Every structure is written in structure tokens, then in C-alpha cells.
Amino acid sequence: MKGGWFKVYAIGYLLFLYAPIILLPMFAFNDATIIAFPLQGFSTRWFSAMLEEPALRIALKNSLFIAVTTSVLATALGVFAARASTRYRFPMKAGLMGLIMLPLVLPEIIVAVSLLVVLLGLGVNLSLWTVILGHVLICTPFTIAILSSAFQALDQSLEEAAYDLGETAASTFRLIILPLVMPGIISSLLISFTISLDEFIIAFFLAGTEPTLPVYIFSQFRFPLAVPVIMALGTVLVCLSIVLLAIAEYFRRRGIAKSGGKDTGGFL
Amino acid sequence: MTEKPTMIAFQDVHKYYSDYHALRGITATIKAGEFFSLLGPSGCGKTTLLRTIAGFEGISAGAVMIDGKNMAGVPANQRPTNMVFQSYAIFPHLTVGENVGFGLRRAGLAKAELAAKVDEALAMVGLKGYGARAAHALSGGQRQRVALARALILKPKVLLLDEPLSALDKKMREQMQVELIRLQRQVGITFILVTHDQEEALVMSDRIAVMFEGEIAQLADPETLYRRPNSRRVAEFIGTMNFLPAQVISEAGGKIEVEAKGFGRATLDAEQAPGASSGEGPAVGFRPETLTILFEGQTATDRETTATIEEVVYFGDMTYYDVRLEGTDKAVRISMRNVFGRPVLDIGARTRVAWSPGALVLFR
């Protein structure tokens, strides 16, 4: 049978990828403390337990604050860098862009430890802002990559045309450039938001006394009784990720349709 | 024809890109209401020169004057010029109407007045009723028209066109050429066209500046440019020109006596030698259609020589003959309009050829 093995491979691959994630909601709704088959019946009690857990709420709040702030800052920096790299020529451009992209491949634990050493050396107190600093550092390469392609796709004569028709540099940016790169900006915001939300290592080292959600989850695994609650939390996070990705993809496609481009497959 | 006032004046304009000398002392004037073309091969500086008028390029030395005002320090958004870009630069996220009305955004017009102006501009370029369409759904020719309407709605003193037809197919291009000429006559605005297509420049322009390597090689009306090119380079860039070695025998009283290979002695007017010395050795040049192959029973009205046909290229309405004139060692091209009932000659045939000294151009 032609392609038979390929089918087996594809199904095996998908199972390996998604089976663990399917287990999450199964145990989250399971009416038992112990994570094991057979399932004991349907219950939503782990979800209500999750909502009543004050430490979790604080961790969630911290994580959301960090993720939102990080995505805004990283995207803003990404806009500047992408604009500079696609529009201007300056000495050492390739080298500088390479350095900016480096955190993409640096081991995160090295980044985290060196940041910690530097911050402590400077006498900075660890707080949510130090986590944000670390997250902006690792998110910015992603936002630059996304936004560079958005800015690259922009025909430079569009800007000149707007300028030629009497607009200023600022109004040209607002009326022409911003609407055309908006899909890129939205994907950049969403990607950096998700990266920051589930980032563990940097948050673990730099959070001080205020845990983020991943750090909280990690700490809870020491208590067997808390595991079903974590399953419930995981279910919520998976759903949230799917929704965010769907939104990002929607905006990407709408952007392509709006500017009349060809869909060449997105980042997502 | 009364002399039109000057719209644009270049005064010894230079432009450097670090080491590269892109414009080398351009001095020229463009008159109001003129259809002017900047013609040259790619990299000759014609687009750079156009962009110095628009204000997208600064100049390193000299001055660009528009309507008597020095444009130094005047940014592009305050110049009385509008541009049609090579890529058209239609804003893809706006409708056709929003694109066309874009430049009037700052004029603070009432909605109805703006809509009327947009409709008028669209009607002018033959896109009546297209206002509500999405700009990205238009064809190439339609984009071109939207770009024209968008630039013309502001009633600029000068419309700049940067290779506007190069993205269109041949048929569409020819149609747009005619429409651009019609439009220019209708609005009376100075049009400055950048093109590398000599045919396009000849068809459309009142005057043409031929540029090579950052300099204007010749600035003239199409007919002068074609009939009296001032250098071999211009002659070869515009259409086809044959060259045969020649020698100047004597020069007196506005008459030049030359001895040309294949033609013999001929007396030329001084205006038939428009160029300065080029160092390639003196030669006479002539267009393929200025020589005529004589068929049975035809006689030359002026001078006559004999030739051998070496190559025949049949084009339907035309036939190109590469012939070797008596006493020369290089074939020259003659183009003949095909006439019904007249045979196309064969390779190797001997024939008589009519020529006229008045059609020769002397390059020293």
C-alpha cells in the first residue's frame, strides 16, 4: 500500500504529541485524588478547588502582569529593531542583528544565572520587574523575527507615496505603516505573551518571593493532594493557548486578505 | 508656438552616494505644460534625478528650482509635485476612493465635496464607479489609473512618473501611452516621465533628455533626437543607426565636404554634424529607412549606389535587408516597407540602392 507507513508514522507522531495533553482534562475531571486508571467518575471539584486557592490566584495575577507587560515591551522593541533593520543601513548591521537574535539559541539557564548575578551585583532587588526584564530579553528575538517579515513585506514606496501626498512622517506611520503591519504586531504580542506566560527557568531564578504560575505549579508537585488541581489548571491553560493561537492566526489571515498578499504559511 | 515659461530648472546638480557620483552636473530646464522624458539605460541616474524633484533625494551640489523657487530644504510633502510610482504604491488596506482622496485628507473638505472630487478624478482616468472597490483587487492597468487619479487630484504643478508602464504587458502599455498623452493635454500639467524604453519616450514626449552615467548626453525633441543624434551612443540607444567610416575633406561656409565609404563624396550642412568629436574616428551615420532598395524600373531621386544583399529578415509589414554597399566591408541595415505584389529579395542578389546626403549624420 502506497503511503501506508507514512500514515502509521503520522498517527504515531500525533499520538506522541497530543496523548499527554488529552490526559490532562481526563484527570482534571476525574473524581479521585490519585492520578491513575481506571477513572473514578466525573467531577468538577478540582476546578472549584483551583479557584479557591489563594496562592494560585496570586501566581496567576503575577504571571498575567508579567506576560502582558513583557509582550508590550518586547513588541515595542521589536517594532523599532525591525523598522531599523529593514529601512536603514548602518555600520555593523548584520553583526548587531545577530547579537540581538542570540538569546534565541543561548541556554536559558545560562541567561537566567548571568542575569541573576548581574542584578544582585548591581544591588537590584528581585521582583516581578526583574522577571519582566528577563522575559523581554528572551521574547524580543521572536518579536523581531515576526515583525521583520511584516516590515519587509511593506513596499517602501507606500511610505513615500503618503509623504508625497502631503502627510508627515508621523501621520504616514499612523495611517499607512501601522495598519499594514498590525497583523504582525498582534501575532508578536500573542507569541511573546504565551512565551512569557509559560516560561519557568528565568521566572524561577529572578522572581524573588513572588512566584509566577509555572513556578507555583512546579512547587505544588511536592504535594500529591495538589496534583489534580494542577491538572485542572493545565486544562485551562491548554484551552487558553488554543484560543490565543486561533486569534493570532485569524489576525494573520485577515492581514493577508486585507493587503491582498498570498498566504505562504504563518509563523503559527 | 509661444515660448512657455520655465517650470523646472536644474542648475549644475550633483549627487554623490559616498564615493559614487550619481548625477554629474545636470543643467536643464523643463517648461510648463511640457511632456518631458528622462531616457537612459538603468543606472544612468534618471530615477535619481526625478527623485530630486520630488524631494526624496537630496542633492550634493547645485540647485533644483520648481516654478522659480529653490527647493533646497523643502521636504517632499511640501513640494508642488506628485509622483506615480513604478510599483504604483496603492495603499492596499484602503478602498479605491480612499486611495484617490488620500491627498485631500488634510484639505478639510466636506464629505460630499470630497466625494465629488474623487468621482471626478476617477472619471478622468476611466474608472467611474470604482470608488468603493478594495484597492488590492484591481488589475495592473487599473492600479496605474488609481495612482494617476490619486496624484492628479491634488492638481500639482508637476506630475512625476517613474517608469509607470514598465509593469504592464505590451498591449496595455501602448493603450496607456495614448491615454497618458490625452490626459496630459487635458489637464495641462507638466509631466516628467522616467523610462528606459526609447520607443515610449519618442511616442509620448515633447522633449527628451537622454542620460548616460549621470549626465545628459542630449536634450531635444523626439525628431531631432532621432534624426540628428549628437553622438554615436545616443544614435545607437535610440533606434538603429548604421555607421560607415568617413573623412572630412573640407569645411567652409556652413558646408562640410566628406568622403564616406560606400557613398563617395557628399556635401553636408553644418547641422548634420551636431556632435563634438568622440574619438572613435569620423563616421557617417544613417537610419535604416533612409536608404531605399530600387526595384525594376525605379530611379533614385537623389543619389544611387549598388549593393549585395547578405541577410533578409521578414517582419510582415517590413523587411530588413542587411546589405553590403559597393566598396565597403561591413553590412548595413535597410528597412523597407513591404508593398503588395513586390517580391522580397533573396540573399546574394545584387541591387541598386538610393540614398540622400541630407539623411546622413556626421560623427567626428
pLDDT at B95: 92
Residues B145, B180: contact at Cβ < 8 Å? no
Q: Map grid coordinates 530600387 to a residue.
A: B294
Domain assignment of residue A265, yes or no: no
Q: How confident is the model at residue A62 (pLDDT cuts 50, 70, 90)?
A: very high
* Averaged pLDDT, A202-215: 88
Name which of B211, B201, B357 is nearest B286 in CA terms: B357
pLDDT at A260: 54
Q: Is the pLDDT of residue A265 over 60?
A: no
Q: Is the pLDDT of residue A263 over 60?
A: no
Of the candidates B81, B89, B134, the beta carbon closest to that of A161 is on B89
Of the candidates B75, B87, B151, the beta carbon closest to that of A155 is on B87
pLDDT at A69: 96
For residue A215, the enclosing domain spans 58-259
Fold of domain B6-227 = Rossmann fold (3.40.50)
Q: Is the pLDDT of residue A2 over 70?
A: no
Residues B265, B258: contact at Cβ < 8 Å? yes
Q: Is the four-CA dihedral B342, B353, B221, B205 of positive or negative sign?
A: positive
Separation between Cα atoms, residue A10 and residue A6, nearest integer Å: 6
* Cβ contact, residue pair A167, B86, below 8 Å: no
Domain assignment of residue A30, yes or no: no
Domain assignment of residue A18, yes or no: no
pLDDT at B344: 84
Half-sphere exposure of residue B282: CA atoms within 13 angstroms, side-chain side: 15
Q: How confident is the model at residue A154 (pLDDT cuts 50, 70, 90)?
A: confident
Residues of chain B with pLDDT under 70: 1-2, 276-279
Residues of chain B with Cβ-Cβ distance to A155 below 8 Å are: 87, 89
Complex ipTM tops 0.90: no
Q: Is the pLDDT of residue A244 over 80?
A: yes
Domain assignment of residue A83, yes or no: yes
Separation between Cα atoms, residue A102 and residue B298, nearest integer Å: 83
B154 touches chain A (CB under 8 A): yes
Return phi, psi of residue A176, to 5°: -115, -55
Q: What is the CATH number of the domain that holds A98?
A: 1.10.3720.10
Q: What pTM, to 2 d.p., does this model score? A: 0.81
Least confident of A42-51, A141-150, B314-323: A42-51
- The domain covering B286-357 belongs, at the CATH homologous superfamily level, to Nucleic acid-binding proteins (2.40.50.140)
Cell numbers for B245, please give them.
567610416
Output the CA–CA distances (angstroms, integers) from residue B223 to B27, B171, B204, B205, in the order listed. Answer: 22, 24, 12, 10
Name which of B356, B351, B243 is nearest B306 in CA terms: B351
If contacts are CB pairs under 8 Å, which of residues 223-252 in chain B contact chain A? none
DSSP symbol at B259: E
If contacts are CB pairs under 8 Å, which of residues 9-48 in chain A contact chain B? none
Domain assignment of residue A237, yes or no: yes
CA angle B20, B234, B278 (to 5 degrees): 80
CA of A172 to nearest chain B CA: how many angstroms apart? 11
Q: Residue B7 CB: number of other CB atoms within 10 A?
A: 23
The number of domains in chain A is 1
Half-sphere exposure of residue B276: CA atoms within 13 angstroms, side-chain side: 2
CB burial of residue B316 (10 Å; 0-12, 13-18, 19+)? exposed
